[in-house]
Structure 1
Amino acid sequence: MSVKRTLMTAVDRSWLRMDTPRNPMMISAVLVFDKPIAISRLKHILNERFLRFQRFRQCIIDEGDKVYWQDDPLFDLDNHLHRVALPGTACKAELQTLTSDLNSTSLGLRHPLWQIHYIDNYQGGCALVIRIHHCIADGISLVRVLLSLTDKTPEPDEQQTPSVRPWKQPARSPIPRFLHRALDTTEAATHQARLFMQSVREEPNYPLKLASTASGIATDLLKLGLSSFEPDTCLKNTLSGRKQVAWAEPLDLAEVKACAKALGGTINDVLLSAAAGALHKHFKASKEAIPDCGIRVAVPFNLRPLNQPIETLGNQFGLVLVCLPVEIADPVMCFRQVQENMTRLKQSYQAQVTYSLLDLFGRGPDVLERRALDLLSSKASAVLTNVPGPKEPVYLAGSKLLQPMFWVPQSGSIGIGMSIFSYAGTVQFGITVDKAIHADPNVVMDYFRESFKALSHAAQAGL
């Protein structure tokens, strides 16, 4: 009997190809809980809620010109769930060291590309270190999948299995979605023609809007290709493949909101400004010349409707290049520049352009993708994610989630990844740095908190 296979999409294949010994394409998470979790109960939840996605039971079959998903005939949860204990006092530094080691190790192709390490007796509770390959799904989708393992109360109704809960998001125009999908089959072309005619009937000036949008996308594509390379700074170096991970003590979300309100901006503007301030402090402490035009960070931008449950996995996001004004020492002036940069980006089509490029690269030869990847990675010094999480505490198998941290991988020659995640009235900030880049991740975490405090004090003082 023949084994059923599913062809991997071009975008997912593109992320698979990006995996290198220096930059494994893994999305990783550290989840800290207030008390131990029974392994038997954890396995039950994984079977019921995590493994309902068939992708987590499938291996990758690479035949060169085509790549397939295929059910693992030897699938066993014990191949993916490992129980370990930290040495010594099992403090935060030791958990960071273990996470750094795991994030420096690629996932093997013999089994489905994910691993969970259960950390015993961590600070009176426990922790989970989770690694999932990027070709399975994008970071925002996987965060939602992992959160679907949790419940709103310590003892949920065992008869109810929560779905991957939808998140609210304002409706977006169908025009970008229309443009970023490749018309590579007759079925897809027919669907797009039907969509176009429907839009024309409902909105007579739709063709003009479409032409305007196409022009905007072409312009953004040209801008992306012609934009300057990142300056040669201490943030760029030949990578070693060894990762160093750290996370800060959480910020009070109410304090971040108050700062944003006082400055007439958004929470995102405040946090990006704090990140820029942290890197400014790092440049100063390293006695490194600060680039006078700032640095760019690649920020993933979701293209999957957040108001719909996730039924299938996969990658549906683009990347935008955000300029962080690290050359500006004054916190309020830095905030204003970030605010202006973000306003300009919100009016562009960068996310759709990069998604289409990933789709194109995944269909072409490896050498084309490698060169394109080198080009894109030369445009940024770091990757930065900012994902909203649950507003109230959640529980996994009766244990309260105290602190969640998530990281997306860095691609090409990028060696720094920064992560911002809001949860239960707090803002979590973490970083992963390649060992070849001379930056102490814990010190950078301290700089982030200091930069936020400086901006918050200036905002409250009315400066």
Structure 2
Amino acid sequence: MERLSGLDASFLYLETPAQLMHVCGVIVLDPSTMPDGYSYAAFRDELERRVRDVPEFTRKLRRVPMGIDHPVWVRDSHFDIDRHVHRLALPSPGGYAELVELTSHLAGLPLDRSAPLWEMWVIEGYQDDKVVVFSKMHHATVDGVSGSNLVSHLCSLEPDAGPMASSEPRPAGHEPGRAELFGRGLLGAMTRPLNAVKLVAPSTQLIAKTVGRARAGTAMAAPFSAPRTSFNGTITGHRAIALADMSLDDIRQIKNATATTVNDVVLAVAGGALRSYLEDRDELPSSSLLATVPVSVREQSQRSGGANKVSALFAKLGTDTEDPLERLRDLAERNRHAKEHHSAISADSLQDWAEFAAPRTFGLAVRAYAGLKLPELHPVVHNLVISNVPGPPVPLYFMGALIEALYPLGPVFHGAGLNVTVMSNNGRVHVGIIACRESMPDVEDLVRRFPAELTRLKAAVVAEAPVRRTRRSATKKTAKSASGAGSRGAAR
């Protein structure tokens, strides 16, 4: 038995039929590398063998009586792989359009909370000889980093090798009764006010420091300052998915030439893609779009429990700037301030405050928030979520099949019906976009602008290269002349 952290549990409380809190992935496989060839039965059996001793795949929820505390994880003694792994085939011609239509539908289906919170759909018939695995796992179970770590239980570095990580069987422990759950929950509820007092002073100091940074112009962008767009409102349960690829080498070349980071380049490309998308629809706001960027605090966290160890920073995407290179430079400078600001915040502050999310009250508040359409009445908190997840730099094999592409997909929220997640994989950067279908009906038009915007940014960097070389040369000559003059003066 393991109690959910407040942050993990919050993803359960945030969930409604329209606001689903699972993360998804579209994994495109080449089954020709499988040593014994592909068959669904063998694939399912090997998957069962690899997940059976991994708690994240075999535990389920138990609620605490009266909802006085967060739920607990218990081992599913009746774990059945067939409740989690399903087989489908694409209709002819089995191309990209058919794949995104099917995965969009699957992404809009909730997970069964009476079983471990994950599913995989093995989709055959993609581009004649490819197999696609569409995975779903609840955010209460994984964040970006822990989700990537879980993949290591299913993947190998060679087609016929074992998984990169293996789990030792853990004792299942006893199944808690209602009295034990209630007693533990009551004890937690009684000590919670004492913990709240400890958080007040650090939070007050943080607010004061933030005000100081805002006055100095070095604070990260503030929430509730985003302009309204067509995808910022109350969402439905329908989803639309679109996928694209970019060159990691191009991103690194731009990063090196401009002394920025990979994340800066990704955000600048996203800003340019969104700018052109909104401009073509006569919807471009005069001020920049604001993105929430999840940040892993796993290495800095002092908390041992909990699957989610994340925080977030807010980033303006420069959609109000036409020149791609100027957008990148401005964004990189703002990101430096945002990171400095974020580093001053305790890595565990979000997790600590999330402990006070009351199960019943939180859930009712979320439903009321959506039912009253409040996202359309108050200022926009943020326009979208953008995540950049580092992936494997070498080829990986999923059950022996070569991973050709891995597109991650995060949740969308009331008020921000668009999520963009990118992941590097063996020299490529895979872009996964998921949106509320009613908020953004033509998500395909947005995703195809990402590689186009990267090309545009790279061209701008290449065009400016001679200017940078000339400036560096002039600087060196000036420095040399000054040095020579100084030496002559000293000799005299």
* TM-score band w.r.t. shorter chain: 0.7 to 0.9
- Residue 260 of structure 2 is aligned to residue 265 of structure 1: yes
| Structure-2 residue corresponding to 1:33 | 29
Which residue does the alignment assign to 2:180? none
What is the alpha-carbon distance in structure 1 between the residues aligned to residue 349 and residue 202 of structure 2? 18
Residue 395 of structure 1 and its aligned partner are, at CA, apart by 0.8
Counterpart of 1:331 in structure 2: which amino acid? P
Conserved? CA contact 1:319–1:354, under 8 Å: no
Which residue pairs with 1:319 in the alignment?
A: 312
Counterpart-to-counterpart distance in 1, 2:402 and 2:305: 28
Aligned-residue offset at 1:362: 4.0
The alpha carbon displacement at 1:105 in A equals 1.0
- How far apart, CA to CA, are the structure 2 residues paired with 1:391 and 1:225? 32
- What corresponds to 1:256 in structure 2? 251
Q: Aligned runs of 1:14-413 on 2, under 5 Å?
A: 14-35=10-31, 37-62=38-63, 63=65, 64-66=67-69, 67-123=71-127, 124-156=129-161, 158=162, 162-163=165-166, 215-216=205-206, 219-220=209-210, 227-248=223-244, 250-288=245-283, 290-305=284-299, 314-349=307-342, 352=345, 356-365=349-358, 366-367=360-361, 370=365, 378-413=380-415
Does structure 2 retain, via aligned residues, the 8 Å contact 1:221–1:350? Answer: no
Moved more, 48-57 or 331-340: 48-57
Specify whether residues 229 and 353 from structure 1 end up closer, same or farther in structure 2 by C-alpha distance, changes over 3 A only. farther
Q: Is the contact made by 2:29 and 2:403 (CA closer than 8 Å) also made in structure 1?
A: yes
Query: How many residues are treated as equivalent by the alignment?
Result: 413
- What SS does the corresponding residue of 2:151 show, helix, strand or coil? helix
After TM superposition, the structure 1 stretch with the greater mean CA deviation from structure 2, 82-91 or 433-442, is 433-442
Give, in angstroms, the shift of residue 355 of structure 1.
5.4
Q: Deviations over 1:7-48 (max 9, x none)?
A: 222111111111111110001001001126433443344334
C-alpha distance after superposition, 1:361-409 (max 9, x if no partner) = 4423344574799899942111111011111111122211000011121
Match of 1:11 among 7, 12, 19: 7
| 1-structure distance, mates of 2:298, 2:347 | 14
Partner of 1:363: helix, strand, or coil? coil
Q: Is the 1:280–1:326 Cα contact (8 Å) retained in structure 2?
A: yes
Question: For residues 251 and 226 of structure 1, do their structure 2 counterparts lie closer, same or farther at Cα, with a shift above 3 Å needed?
Answer: closer
**1:461 aligned counterpart, secondary structure:** helix
Bigger mean CA offset, 430-439 vs 45-54? 45-54
**Partner of 2:156: helix, strand, or coil?**
coil
* 1:80 Cα deviation after fit: 0.3
Q: Please provide the CA RMSD for this pair.
A: 3.3
Q: Tell me how far apart the structure 1 counterparts of residues 408 and 16 of structure 2 sit (CA, whole Å).
A: 20
After superposition, the C-alpha distances for 1:225-267 in whole angstroms (9 at most, x for unaligned) are: 974342222231321221100001x222112211222222122
CA pair 440-298 structure 1, distance change in 2 beyond 3 A = same
Cα distance change on mapping 1:306 and 1:346 into 2, 3 Å: closer
One-letter amino acid of the structure 1 residue matched with residue 233 of structure 2? N
Residue segments in structure 1 that go unaligned for 5+ positions in a row: 165-181, 193-210
Which structure is larger by alpha-carbon Rg, 1 or 2? 2
Alpha-carbon deviation of 1:70?
Answer: 2.3
User: How many Å separate the matches in 2 of 1:79 and 1:241?
Assistant: 22
- TM-aligned CA distance change 1:128 to 1:227, over 3 Å: closer
From the superposition, tell whether residues 265 and 391 of structure 1 become closer, same or farther in structure 2 (CA, over 3 Å): same
Q: Tell me, what secondary structure is at the counterpart of 1:259?
A: helix
What is the CA–CA distance in structure 2 between the aligned matches of 1:254 and 1:342, rounded to whole Å? 22
Give structure 2 stretches of 5+ with no counterpart: 33-37, 168-187, 215-219, 466-492
- The answer on 1:437 being equivalent to 2:439 is yes
| Distance of 1:70 and 1:272 partners within structure 2 | 40
Distance 1:351 1:75 in 2: 44
Question: 1:149: Cα distance to partner?
Answer: 1.2
Relative to the length of structure 2, the TM-score reads 0.76
Once residues 377 and 22 of structure 1 are traced to their aligned partners in structure 2, the CA distance between those partners, rounded to angstroms, is 21
| Structure 2 CA distance for aligned equivalents of residues 306 and 402 of structure 1 | 33
Question: Is 2:62–2:72's contact at 8 Å kept on the other side of the alignment?
Answer: yes
* In structure 2, distance between residues paired with 1:50 and 1:306: 29
Q: Quick one: which amino acid aligns to residue 300 of structure 1?
A: P
Instruction: For residue 448 of structure 1, give the secondary structure of its aligned residue in structure 2.
Output: helix
Mapped pair 1:423 → 2:419: no
Contact persistence 2:8–2:308 (CA under 8 A)? yes
Distance 1:398 1:6, change over 3 A: closer
Aligned partners of 2:412 and 2:435 also within 8 Å? no
Task: Show CA shifts across 1:64-116 (max 9, x none).
Answer: 22312222232101110001111111111111111100111111212111100
Q: Does the aligned pair in 2 maintain the 1:269–1:339 contact within 8 Å?
A: yes
- Partners of 2:148 and 2:286 lie apart in 1 by 36
> Secondary structure of 2:464's partner?
coil
- Check the 8 A contact 2:206/2:345 in 1, yes or no: no
Q: Distance in 2 between matches of 1:147 and 1:377?
A: 41
Partner of 1:201: none
Which residue type is aligned with residue 50 of structure 1?
A: V
For the residue of structure 1 that corresponds to 2:123, the secondary structure is strand
- Structure 2 distance, partners of 1:112, 1:149, is 17
**Residues of 2 paired with 1:45 and 1:378: CA distance?**
46
C-alpha separation between the residues in 1 aligned to 2:310 and 2:211? Answer: 16
